[in-house]
Amino acid sequence: MALLQISEPGQSPDPHQRRIAVGIDLGTTHSLVAAVRHGVAECLPDEQGRVILPSVVRYLPPGSGSGRHIGFDALAAQVQDPANTVSSVKRLMGRKLADLPGAGRLPYAVVDGPGMVAVRTVAGDKTPVEVSAEILATLRFRAEDTFNDDLYGAVITVPAYFDDAQRQATKDAAQMAGLNVLRLINEPTAAAIAYGLDQGAEGVYAIYDLGGGTFDVSILRLTRGVFEVLATGGDSALGGDDYDRALADWALERLGAGVHAADLPAGERAALLAEARRCKEALSALAATGGAVTLALSLHGQAAQLAVTHTDFAAATAELTQRTMAAVKRVLRDAQLDRADVQGVVMVGGSTRMPVVRDAVEAFFGQPPLTNLNPDEVVALGAAIQANQLAGNNPDGDLLLLDVIPLSLGLETMGGLVERIVPRNTTIPSALAQDFTTFKDGQTALALHVVQGERDLVADCRSLARFELRGIPPMAAGAARIRVTFTVDADGLLTVSAKEQSTGVEARIDVKPSYGLSDEQIAAMLQDSFATAQQDMQARALVEARVDAQRMLDATRSALAADGHWLSDADRDAIDALLQALDSTRAADDAAAIEAATEALAKGTEDFAAQRMNRSIAQALAGQNVENL
């Protein structure tokens, strides 16, 4: 692009020209949608004024009305119809049964579907992608109703832990819900944006996110308004649900029941867990020292009651809180930092309302954590701010986000060993290469096996993809030079390419992993899904071309406003004509034409831009001695 300036501060597009972009926190327990309105990010409420949507879908027998309930209605039916009420589906995203040792304890039946698991309901087998799409579509409709307009796109958050398969599954769900995914960002990164840490003091921050089903901890470093994730860690199977179970088990033990919650019949178990959760949340609201809450349960049809104090709760759950703090220590070690280096701690996730958690975090870091934003909302709010920026609504603030990959990526080498190419916690987007060679004389093909994980043996890592490089010219063993490049894009998705250096023969694979839904299966699911337009690659290209065009238009106009008087009438007319042309092309649905017009404007303003650069350098140099330069 020829011009440097993007737009004058405060000159944002007219309200009616703004593109509506939302941030969505697709949570294990709750999901939310937020948008920047009147310059402020806020969560959008449903018709009853509730911003939270329980991430729960209940499937009804075929032929009964809408076929499903989503959110609060589904949650209310969980006790009564646990087998068809799908909650915590995020834990199943992009997973196979082999990945889910705890699947047998879920209140609904999980079976191995095509590649990914599926939930067996009265309405048929539902993949986690389909269930998530129901939740996302509900939030999409909420946003469209709020603005009475179509959405331009959405930023969706995922745990820093999510691997390629889980991220891809999230994208597929969004596509199925008719959303244009502007970007996936990590939840802790979104929280940091919501707290405006980029506007604040430079330094190192820790993000402690304890939700319903996952625990994430991330270490961020802020430098000149830009932040970088130094390290992430946590436990993808630890959250508020575990506190519920621990309290339920504590109650059963107190009553001498001789069973764990997991052993109860599904209905009683679900009721007990719901009651434990209610007590846990009620306890958070009690003053630190005071009182007790009453836990009521029914065991084999017998009603019973128990008083629960803070001390009881702390004792019943101490092990869980300690596990989160152990993960905090590990991630600090990964970042090669000491707890004293952390200048602020951000609390995210509903479970950080628990005093036991706040106390443990405060004791460890020696400072009270930041809790002034609603911990349920911060992730969605940050995503909304990011979405607003990606939509080009905020041209004077270009936030640079650097995320990291959660698990190392590498190649299988001789003997089933892993050669690590991209170490975990590498910032993305990024590209890393390594040279390999043939190990046999005359070898003309090389098999590449891409794996993910921290272990040295391929057998202990997760297999992501296999492909072959063919057409290597026959050479002595060790003479061929094959450069393998791993490219991870801003969404954390991976492309691997292999190129023989002397001949240039090349092979590549997009690791569109690994849960193995075929394109046909995805297409079929798309057709079955909502009657929404399929957001295909073309739509995306168009959107991107328009964003670039708008940026170019804004930049040119502000440059003309500042320095247009330097131009001759003829030059000015030429630029005006190009501006006009781009402005009118932008409205049409032709990405290639928009790109061409953008390019033409960039070319046509090159000299002007160079002149502006020269003058500003000349101005900067004016009055200085050569010695000072």
Of 349 and 395, the one with the shorter C-beta distance to Mg ion is 349
Helices (H), 36-163: 72-76, 128-147
- Residues 24/383, Cβ–Cβ less than 8 Å: yes
Q: How many CA atoms lie within 13 A of 310 on its CB side?
A: 13
CA distance 56 to 74: 6
- Crossing angle of helices 591-604 and 537-563, rounded to 10°: 20
Decide if residue 240 touches ligand ADP (CB under 6 A): yes
Cβ 198 to ligand ADP, closest distance in Å? Answer: 22
Of the candidates 92, 94, 48, 98, the one whose C-alpha atom is nearest the C-alpha of residue 73 is 48
Judged by phi (left if over 0) then psi (alpha if -120 to 50, else beta), residue 442 lies in: left
90, 126, 171, 512: which is the annotated catalytic residue?
A: 90
The correct pick among 202, 281, 341, 510 for binding ligand ADP (CB under 6 A) is 281
Find the part of the chain contacting ligand ADP (CB under 6 A) among 112-120, 168-176, 234-242, 427-435. Answer: 234-242
Of 320 and 553, the one with the shorter C-beta distance to ligand ADP is 320
Binding site partner of 234, from ligand ADP, Mg ion, none, Cβ cut-off 5-8 A by kind: none
Of 354 and 609, the one with the shorter C-beta distance to ligand ADP is 354
The correct pick among 284, 529, 556, 585 for binding ligand ADP (CB under 6 A) is 284
Annotated active-site residue 90? The verdict is yes
81, 187, 198, 275: which is the annotated catalytic residue?
A: 187
Cβ 101 to ligand ADP, closest distance in Å? Answer: 20
Q: By Cβ distance, which residue is nearest to Mg ion?
A: 211
Rg (CA), the chain: 27
Binding mask 392-411 for ligand ADP (x = CB under 6 A): --------------------
Cβ 378 to Mg ion, closest distance in Å? Answer: 9
Of 349 and 513, the one with the shorter C-beta distance to Mg ion is 349
Helices (H), 505-568: 519-528, 537-563
CA distances from 588 to 64, 546, 596 (A): 43, 10, 13
**Residues contacting residue 149 through CB under 8 Å, at least 6 positions apart:** 20
Judged by phi (left if over 0) then psi (alpha if -120 to 50, else beta), residue 60 lies in: beta
Decide if residue 280 touches ligand ADP (CB under 6 A): yes
- Residues 579/34, Cβ–Cβ less than 8 Å: no
Of the candidates 350, 25, 360, the one whose C-alpha atom is nearest the C-alpha of residue 210 is 350
Decide if residue 241 touches ligand ADP (CB under 6 A): yes
* Helix, strand, or coil (residue 479): coil
* Segment 258 to 277, residues that bind ligand ADP, using CB under 6 A: 277
Decide if residue 212 touches ligand ADP (CB under 6 A): yes
Annotated active-site residue 209? The verdict is yes
Element (H, E) at 422: strand 417-422
Cβ 413 to Mg ion, closest distance in Å? Answer: 38
Find the part of the chain contacting ligand ADP (CB under 6 A) among 208-216, 423-431, 466-474, 531-539. Answer: 208-216
Decide if residue 128 touches ligand ADP (CB under 6 A): no
46, 81, 209, 312: which is the annotated catalytic residue?
A: 209
Annotated active-site residue 42? The verdict is no
Binding site partner of 29, from ligand ADP, Mg ion, none, Cβ cut-off 5-8 A by kind: ligand ADP
- Residues 241/211, Cβ–Cβ less than 8 Å: no
* Segment 365 to 384, residues that bind ligand ADP, using CB under 6 A: 376
Annotated active-site residue 554? The verdict is no
* Segment 21 to 50, residues that bind ligand ADP, using CB under 6 A: 27-30
Of 113 and 188, the one with the shorter C-beta distance to ligand ADP is 188
CA distance 553 to 21: 21
Known catalytic residues? 25, 90, 187, 209
